[in-house]
Structure 1
Amino acid sequence: MIEYIKGELVDATPAWVVVECNGLGYGINVSLNTYSAVQGKKEVKLYIYEAIREDAYVLYGFATRQERELFLLLISVSGIGGNTARMILSALSPSELCNVIGSGNDKLLKTVKGIGLKTAQRIIVELKDKIAVTGIESAATVKSVAVAANTEIYEEAVAALAMLGFAQAPSQKVTAQILKEEPDAPVEKVIKLALKRL
């Protein structure tokens, strides 16, 4: 089993990176969170999850162990495959995801592309107790009050960006980032700032 791959970052897109290690180029699926973490770096270390199926051998890479741990929890939920789990981790940072699951916010989870209400509720029910023992939540709990206040603005901004034709995952990522930097920003300001970054 591959624990991690450390090497030169040869190519990087928001969903895929190539890491060269000892003359081998590994094509690795990544989330937007991991892409942001490795972007612009020459040397990278990615924690790996190998999905070995009859028709494919797929590598998923993560900038942190916590993100990989959450990925493993997500794919343990029936109906959630590797790509859906990656989509969830692209829309929400590990601590945000822990918050969403811990607070039972199925509305916010449902905004992730490919996640319906029933799936969002299943994720929350199956992972709520498991998330509590990961230790990631402790960092998230501090933000829970702010996140609750921002949820409405976040949802409004993402919906507005979708209407303007922007893809959901990048819109969610940018909106979350803006609200992290400026928690008191009104929705109009969040949208204006998001338009500059997308």
Structure 2
Amino acid sequence: MPLHVPPAPAPALRSVLAALGSPTAVREARTPSLRNAQGPVSPELPLPVHVLDRITPLDVPPRTRLAGWRFLIRSGDRAVAAGDTMLTPDGWAFSHFFEGPYVAATERALRQAETIPRHYQPRLLSVPELYMLTLWLHGDTGADGGEGTLQPSDLLVPLAPAPPGIAAHLPHRAADLLPVLTHRLAPVPLLGSPA
């Protein structure tokens, strides 16, 4: 398998395990598939979730920051939900469970990435300005998953649903996709009033 999944911080994993073990946390989660899961559920494939703080001009390296760790919650042979953690002043804490299209899209993108012959470290990259989530395939497999810079040669795989005009599940080099995102977010000049 060419994917090198980085280890999640132990407190982040413990917080998700504790939430999964809490009938109250599971019952109050707005995830019917998690509440209705038959048999045991387990958190797997921890992925650091980075946020692209803002789209920068092409000559400035993009800035990302770690926002949390996401665990796919597996029941049987598929992911039925995800559990997010966040960093608090007291350390890593459980944030929430959720389900929806990004869970299946993440699983699909990871399977797709396993067929790429090059080795990568999988991460998630959120682009809030476009309501977009991508699988970030980082070329430095030995890097700390919570740190690192988006490199031009890294691959970004937009997850479905992707913004209009951006194909979901099609891998792009970061150097190729970031200019498209920059263009999408450029302010539209206002036309002057007719003379």
Q: TM-score, normalised by structure 1?
A: 0.30
Q: Which has the higher helix share?
A: 1
Task: Considering Cα pairs closer than 8 Å and 6+ residues apart, tell me whether 1 or 2 has the greater RCO.
Answer: 2
Q: Which has the higher strand share?
A: 2
